[in-house]
Structure 1
């Protein structure tokens, strides 16, 4: 199958119009040329300038020139590091944030990024070195949804070598990032391992693809298990303890990893060992905090609740608070805050909800100054509805 045919197959189902994230390296420039040749336009291209290397301006100009020749609209998106946090992690988050804003402004349906078969193989080895489980070793997704947009990686079946041959045939030069030869980076080390041992990236990618199929099967089992063992009550995830204990360890891990990350408003789930210990404590009737949430044991149940200390003093921004809103009508001076001990004391029949005090302190509630106005999860006050920016995993239907 030709590169164009593979490219078109990988884009089946992708919502148009398409945006292209092109840095000036060989992979993303090949993405640009393949999209133009496949005639899947109209096309819009963006290059994120992180301002971290002196070569960045020239790379942006290289992409702009290629887009001009291919009649593709091009924009440069500037992003600057604040100096806080891990540089690589912040740059990645900043890059995707800039691309998301750009795509929404342009009204795009799907943004294409240039990850290749080589990236699959390198990532596979990196995650083996880190002791990743099945989900981490599975091939990265070809298409997914995030922030209200479609995203796609149509080059996953293509090696970097054949993409560079394709560019040479098209007379297209590309930029070489010096950091791609820096052995202090794990990815560069794995790239060298592949070269030294002669491991074919195609075979590793095939293994990663098979693991992705196994992962998908386990995800289906996990979603089914969630419906059997848990329910959402207010913002709390209430789990039948005996049913949870009876699940296979991998299913329990997936459920609790997703639920604690969601409840704790964390990008990353807790480490596997820490999570397993917390779940064991909860099943043994002990309360434990983890990842911005608290696991509360109560009457044979395990309740995944928001940790009160994580939202103490947190005030709403507009109508949003802790990634949720309360929908309804009331005075303009209402403010969303955690219920807290003071608010709980104002709800005389809070025990009727069947939840322990520890699970209710972080309940979102509406305040008018120092007076509790409404707490929807406790059926207190005027009618408001709890609305999550991101629904809880496996329970979002």
Structure 2
């Protein structure tokens, strides 16, 4: 299979191609200062004429603040508006790279919403895809773990997109060199404590055996096409057996039994991820435990989601303790899913309705929504006073809706 040359015009078209309606889109680029993101910024400027830039300073290295300032100066020279977001963390336990990744996307999504950005472009390349594939291979991953990084996905109202997943890193660097654009080399890219860096250093050794970035990209493309078919099959099944209701999911048990175990597993997993808004799936043995609970007709909990069995079906609901004490300002997505609109005033907060709130409402049963679903629904509070509970029928012109429905989620994830 011939290797694509990727002339500059094709790179510009690749950037433009990840944005659907150019008339309403407002595009930003996530810029770390590394070669991939710097090339993405410059190409996006060509593609769209005007863009914004955002840098996340993870505050994990002494040099990171100065690197963010260097990106700011570069953007200023190009006439590009630039913002730096600082991850204000304490002691980070567990997987540092994963914690940083989740913080990075959360910060950028909130920034995008507040600035009216609809799309954020990311500079990941074919080399990143190959590294991700090898990481999945090393841990014995299945189809999902070997299908590479997603080309795009929604995080609330903003769409993240990776236009250069088929482009080798060397091509973007040659573009920068030709334009006389410098970039920053992050010293952590040499730290073999990280699995990705070990895989990056393994790739040149594999090349002698014919396992190149281009060939791995072709394999990932084939697996990704298969994964798309699987996702659509699961989405079709969801449309038949699943009903979305006030942020919960109701499954028909009789129809559930019509589908093979793998479709059932994927439906359950998608439901858990959608209800919990978790970025990563729970362990396979934990999902298997909940599947056994369904077959044995008993309740279970997992990943902040409650499985409640009924006579004719089962329901997935947000677990009450997962949202207890969870509060946010009116402009943010509550619990990562809910957008509430209405006549907010100073001091208003979004919180779960909870038992205290529900006890104040006499007509909540008229809404036809189960009590345990309403308990974890969004409501508006001022100090200790309940102002509105839209799903429980106490609205005062407030409305609450899910930012992205389950069927859309299944197809895109």
Normalising by the residue count of structure 1, what TM-score does the alignment of the two structures yield? 0.80
Matches of residues 1-397 of structure 1 in structure 2 within 5 Å? 1-10=5-14, 11-12=16-17, 14=19, 15=22, 16-36=25-45, 38=46, 40-67=48-75, 71-86=78-93, 87-104=96-113, 106-198=115-207, 199-312=211-324, 322=335, 323-324=337-338, 337-338=352-353, 340=355, 362=376, 387-394=400-407
Residues 133, 107 of structure 1: CA spacing in aligned structure 2 closer, same or farther, 3 A cutoff? same
Whole-angstrom distance in 1 between the partners of 2:382 and 2:60: 47
Residues 304, 168 of structure 1: CA spacing in aligned structure 2 closer, same or farther, 3 A cutoff? same
- Stretch moving more, 338-347 or 270-279: 338-347
Normalising by the residue count of structure 2, what TM-score does the alignment of the two structures yield? 0.78
Whole-angstrom distance in 2 between the partners of 1:247 and 1:374: 41
Offset at 1:221? 1.3
Structure 1, unmatched stretches of 5+, are: none
2:48 match: secondary structure: coil
Residues 29, 342 of structure 1: CA spacing in aligned structure 2 closer, same or farther, 3 A cutoff? closer
1:77 match: secondary structure: strand
Offset at 1:368? 12
Offset at 1:134? 1.8
| Contact 1:22 1:63 survives alignment (8 Å) | yes
Whole-angstrom distance in 2 between the partners of 1:30 and 1:369: 48
| Contact 1:126 1:186 survives alignment (8 Å) | yes
Whole-angstrom distance in 1 between the partners of 2:67 and 2:350: 47
Task: State the structure with more CA Rg.
Answer: 1
Offset at 1:44? 2.8
Aligned pairs, how many? 393
Whole-angstrom distance in 1 between the partners of 2:364 and 2:217: 57
Offset at 1:374? 9.3
Structure 2, unmatched stretches of 5+, are: none
Offset at 1:347? 7.3
Offset at 1:116? 0.6
Calculate the aligned-residue CA RMSD, in Å: 4.1
